[in-house]
Structure 1
Amino acid sequence: MDNTKKFCPHCGTEIKNDAKFCPKCGYALASATTPDDQPREQPQPQAQPQATQTTAGTNANANASDSFADVKRFSGNFFSWWLATIRHPSQVIPNVNRSFGAIAIALEALLTVLTLVSLGKRIVALYSRDVSQAVASMINVNGLLFKAGLIFFFLILLGAAIYVSLSYGFRRLIDDNAPLNFWEFTNQFAGITNLILIFNLITFLLSLITTGANFSSYSLMILFMIPTSVILSVGYIFIIIKDVDNPRIDKFYTLLLAEAALTVAFLIFIYIAGNIVGGSVMNFLQTYYSSFMNSF
């Protein structure tokens, strides 16, 4: 039992320990606390910075896990969409991410470039015995192939953009009721031509197992490259007239104009790309030829 005496903080009258009001002045004792009744300040733990760092690390790990889950979910959705287009290329897949078509086209271009780079390495390995050591040491083959691969990658993407843009323009020309925006149209175009990704993958795998002197493997690779151009051409024509019931212009003339526009566009594209790439190759050869002559 607590025998400590308590006094009213207002008038000083002695009061009982369990009293709630002073019996003399009526002061409310419940709201008053004596110095002994006041809670003592608890010391703060010294490891607070470490706890903060632990919390920050936990949040970073959680964010990384969420990002990985988002990437995994996005990849799964992309593969499901791609597989659905392989089964039914002419059907429209609803509720598709607007970037799936562009990603599929970029993957096709990437596989094509990887195939060209792999073949370039095989050819260099085949004829490197005939190149002198001085020239071989001056030419960075891997660096040269990497730069050439980047150039071809962007050129292939630009060529695919020409196909998609022209087909979109002629689709809007023939069908004024077409509600598609450009990205939805790109998804449908890629859905029709997604078979190209399979042939490009097979060609790339063949380039990895092809030896330098095995020319029969090269012919097999060329054989697998042929369907790529066929699918691209058929997809270009098909998507322009697909589901068009009341065309503003006759479908025959629309396709005739579309093919003519595609031919003109690629002639201009090849001319510009040839000047750019050809100029870069000539500058490269002149630079290394000058360096080679100065070394003697």
Structure 2
Amino acid sequence: MQEERAVRERLESHTNDYGVGRKLHDVPPHQTHEVRMEGRRAVCKRATSDEGDPAMEARVMQHLETNTSVPVPHVLAVGDDHFVAEWIEGVPEERILDEERVRTMGAGMATLHAETSFEATGVLRDDDGNLALDADETWHGTVCEFLADRRDFLESFGYSDVAADVLALVREHPGLFDGAGAPVLCHGNYFPEHVGIDGDEVTCVIDFEHAIVAPGEYDYWRTTLPVFTASERSDEGLDESFREGYRSVRSLPDGFDRRRRVYWMINSVSYVRSLFLQRQQTGHEAARTAAFLRDYVYDTIDSLREEL
């Protein structure tokens, strides 16, 4: 009842013609509900803590709708801690993986990157109704800020060392990302359940809550590690289908594969943060996952130090 009341309060700030339906998703720091707004079926996404930023996500979708061919939900209303967007059919509720679908996903990601361009990397925010970029001088600088943020978050959970030691390695080697490519808008979680596909066309892309401006390879490796390489489907060569799709639209930079482990190490730090932020695992299960990620990060640090 309290959750429904919170959604009603958000909707009432925009219109008197609304209705609140079922809860669709509840993973900190966001919650989504099916709603009706002025006769239109829609989704309301709101932040449940300061870690969430739906307003930024809404501005990203509006930017893409106006400036690119990337199909995104039309945003109906935006508030400080929420947005309302049109209902979209065709987005799968679970991961559906086959070569054709994965190839189309790769082309869709490449299209997102090819049709967006920024002068610098950095984090995105809502600036009085507009999409704004807090730019850094270099991608290396953005990565350092990214890792420092995760270090600070993980301190109270006893895992700040994971982020701190990766940050130390990255700071020691500013050339790690040389040749990474131009800054583009990266989705940050370009997973099968966030991409609607019909045949060989992407029909909708949702959930831009992790969007960032970065080289496209950042987005690429954030997808391929959890979806293709570290999953039970890793032996089916789906990562090659994804690469084929991507390269059919946009080329990959020199040194792309060489930087793979660096990105996976950085993203593994993010997964430790998500483990404690989203709380989808608790107790011994969470401890086992955190220990696995920590071991992977330190094994990667050791191997990279031997090569650098």
TM range (shorter): under 0.3
Whose strand proportion is higher, 1 or 2?
A: 2
Q: Compare CA radii of gyration and give the structure with the larger one.
A: 1
Q: In proportion to residue count, which structure has more helix?
A: 1
